[in-house]
Structure 1
Amino acid sequence: MSSESVGGIFGAIVAAIVLAVAIVFGPIGQIGKPAKPAKAEQSAPAAVAPAPAAPAPRGPVIREVPNQ
């Protein structure tokens, strides 16, 4: 057996192991996961906080740069 065929077999084994681990630890969709609990609706909406004021400018604003 050449080193290329050994590498190909080893690569296939590693790929199969990675695929099996991905299926076991991260099933696709809802399979194997507990159902999400339904959220209870609130009778009164929560108080909305007022939007924060715009921050003050930090430094001078340079509008034009003279050509020298």
Structure 2
Amino acid sequence: MSKKGYLITGLGVLVGAIVGYLYYKEIGCVSGTCAITSKPLNSTLYGALMGGLVFNLFVTSKKKNT
């Protein structure tokens, strides 16, 4: 993967982490029984993972001609 690919994926991780934490803070889980949204760390890590995966979809790779 190129430098640009790492940058895009890293940006996705950062944006996802922020969105995951904001989801916990604003919506969250009142009862505390939700596995992902009951704790801020879980929600932030899940958001970071999803953000990295979604932004990685926009990374293009060069095809090799053999």
Tell me the TM-score normalised to structure 1 length.
0.37
Report the structure, 1 or 2, having the larger helix content: 2
* Higher RCO, Cα 8 Å, sep 6+: 2
Rg larger for:
1
